[in-house]
A and B are shown apart, each in its own frame.
Chain A
């Protein structure tokens, strides 16, 4: 089956000699919901820039649904919709005009462009604002406008570069629902995000990029299985004076109503609860100390940093 996105040995060295990508290769299957994670400056936006032709690659090959972005750029671009990280529309133009124009750049006839503009502005709750100049929109509305604009030509591959940055929780959740819907309808989605909860909640597969290389490229499920330990926080009903003495677990008191426990891979929570019950400690709630993917991400990026430092040291 032809990959939605196929990247081979992609390299980018900027004019200032900074090597942003060091030969990355990646495949994203059609219909996938794919996360591209990495710290700032890792190479995510450069990769998206090359795919969308805003950044010139130094070498390598990129295909979108089998169409090479150099040899068959017109066909490749028709398959692609991009939502960039920064607002990149004219602040003086009206919402409807911005989306209609984008449809025109893709060669959509006026009647079809108008119908699809209305469809996506309605879906993203912007139809009432269609005559409003873009500069008058709130931050969340501007983000939704960029999504409507990217979708108006109905691309098969949608790339979103940190789509929910600076968006409030309620809006973020509604954007997640919207993205799930269009993914379920067949659109392949790639997103970069700093909210690892977002990647864990939405995506099936993930690539972690750091220092211009891919550190991990696997399914979210496989990645989470690599977790060797998790830290849970327990809230107690009664005051605790010290950390409960439970055997086989590392426990640390946080305050008079909570403590945290490190659970190694394979350890049972039942045994822990049994011991806590025997000690007469009544647990009223429990939660993960950090997002699970976040823990893995931090450990992988920090391992990669040590490897890079060792390389440069050598």
Chain B
């Protein structure tokens, strides 16, 4: 398949994915907006005003980047896992598998579909947060790079989950039992400096801590971790998950008999 044809195939998958989540916006865009609005009201205004400053910022300013990142990564993941698993379930994935579309284009197409939803929700939540606080951007480059890379990483993770999933239960296990605890314990609501030394060390094993803090650095200029290390770790994880995704497509894991 020539390069321009591959580009057309990529755009086709991406367009289909964007159409899918905008068609069902009540399920995909509205719930995270409502949830995050509640977080802003409760943690930002009601409780936040009693907490005082954290790392030199008001509590609502401190949690806003974490909440934005939390909504980006969970929506990127859930977009790909539900879309790809539904395509498997309805067997419409066969439409792409019988075509000459190369595996890496299939993977990139679904992954960027997840990024599109993650960013759409991210923008919505950012706009919502402006109703509660002023947002500063310390570094546009870091902010944009970290949010896109994180979104890609969780889209790829969602893809791998969807490939292995045999039922709709299988696509909710990881978000519920892995993603949610890691996100809540990933420094969204607090600085790990508040924790005892032992738990600070344990927290540093949580990959989401690096993404949330790198994003917070991009917006506020403060971070609990080394931002360069966060980027390096993110890029390595991205490369690994991309290779795993490609391998699964190449061998046709649970896709080809």
Contacts and interface: CB of A to CB of B under 8 A. Distances in A.
Nearest to A51: B98
Identify the interface centre among A87, A92, A149: most chain B CB within 10 Å of its CB. Answer: A92
A11 to B, nearest CB: 14
Contact of B9 (A73, A75, A92, A104): A104
Contacts of A56: 252, 256-257
Interface in A179-236: none
B87 A90 contact: yes
B257 A54 contact: yes
Interface stretch (A76-84, A162-170, A259-267): A76-84
B96 interface: yes
B98 A55 contact: no
Interface stretch (A106-114, A117-125, A273-281, A301-309): A106-114
A91 interface: yes
B99 A106 contact: yes
A105 B94 contact: no
Contact of A77 (B6, B16, B19, B99): B99
B49 interface: no
Interface string A54-68: 111000000000000
Interface in B3-26: 4-6, 8-9, 11-13, 15-16, 19, 23
B8 A101 contact: no
A202 to B, nearest CB: 23
B1 to A, nearest CB: 5
A77 B92 contact: no
B101 interface: yes
Contacts, number: 83
B50 interface: no
A274 B6 CA distance: 71
Contacts of B91: 86-88
Given A88-B91, A90-B87, A105 B99 contact: yes
Contacts of B11: 104
Interface residues of A, number: 35
A39 interface: no
A102 interface: yes
Secondary structure class of chain B's binding surface, majority of residues = helix
B97 interface: yes
A209 to B, nearest CB: 17
Interface in B90-138: 90-92, 94-102
Contacts of B12: 101, 104-105
Interface residues of B, number: 31
B86 interface: yes
A127 interface: no
A102 B100 CA distance: 11
Given A107-B4, A107-B9, A107-B100, A101 B95 contact: yes
A88 B256 CA distance: 14
A54 B92 contact: no
A75 B97 CA distance: 14
A294 interface: no
Given A74-B1, A101-B12, A105-B12, A49 B257 contact: yes
B8 A90 contact: no
A77 B94 contact: no
A53 B86 contact: no
Contact of A102 (B4, B99, B252): B99
A109 B4 CA distance: 9
Contact of B94 (A74, A84, A92, A98): A84
Nearest to A100: B12
Nearest to A105: B99
A104 B96 CA distance: 10
A96 B95 CA distance: 14
Contacts of B101: 105
B95 A102 contact: yes
Contacts of A104: 8-9, 11-13, 15
A89 B95 contact: yes
A97 interface: yes
Interface of A: 14, 49, 52-56, 73-75, 77-78, 80, 82, 84, 86-93, 97-98, 101-102, 104-110, 149
22 contacts: A14-B257, A53-B256, A54-B97, A55-B256, A56-B257, A75-B100, A80-B98, A88-B90, A88-B94, A88-B95, A89-B95, A90-B90, A97-B16, A101-B16, A102-B99, A105-B13, A106-B99, A107-B2, A107-B9, A108-B8, A109-B8, A110-B8
A-B CB proximity, top 3 nearest: A107-B5, A104-B12, A105-B99
Interface of B: 1-2, 4-6, 8-9, 11-13, 15-16, 19, 23, 86-87, 90-92, 94-102, 252, 256-257
Given A74-B100, A88-B94, A104-B9, 10 more contacts: A14-B257, A53-B97, A80-B98, A88-B90, A88-B95, A89-B92, A89-B95, A90-B90, A101-B95, A102-B99
